[in-house]
Amino acid sequence: MKATKYDDGTITYPGHPVGPEGGERVEEIDLTERVGEIVTWTTSTATPPGIRQPNHLAIVEFEVEGQSVRALGQLTTDAVEIGDEVRPVYVDELREPGAGIREPESQEWDGYRFEPTG
């Protein structure tokens, strides 16, 4: 789970080939050891094929070099509130590999969910 810093100083997650103001990529910043704060969250009960039901999602804000960097991702639980601190935790499968219409070999299935720190 890496944010991208650009030569104009902006930082985004996920990274893009060119920054929001046209900046070139200069550095990746690992977010996996950082703690973020839940800005908002929801539960989806009508999920795409292969995604767990219910699917708890949050927008999480990280403070990186004095900037707000936001990430959208799954939560490990629905026992959260706005303002709670969470950390990214690695999971092997964010969704079921055989459930989509694309070839399983053409996609990545692992990633991060957000877990409350307290």
Are 104 and 91 a contacting pair, CB within 8 Å? no
Are 41 and 75 a contacting pair, CB within 8 Å? yes
Work out the pLDDT band at 114, boundaries 50, 70, 90.
very high
Complete edge-to-edge strand list for the sheet that includes strand 36-44 = 67-74, 55-64, 36-44, 85-91, 111-116
Per the prediction, the chain carries an average pLDDT of 91
Residue 40 pLDDT > 80: yes
Beta bridge mates, 14: none
Q: Other C-beta atoms within 10 Å of 38: how many? A: 19
What is the reported pLDDT for 33? 94
Percent of the chain with pLDDT over 70: 89
Measured CA to CA, the distance from residue 63 to residue 22 in angstroms comes to 22
Q: What is the mean pLDDT of residues 70-78?
A: 96
Residue 106 pLDDT > 90: no
What is the reported pLDDT for 97? 67
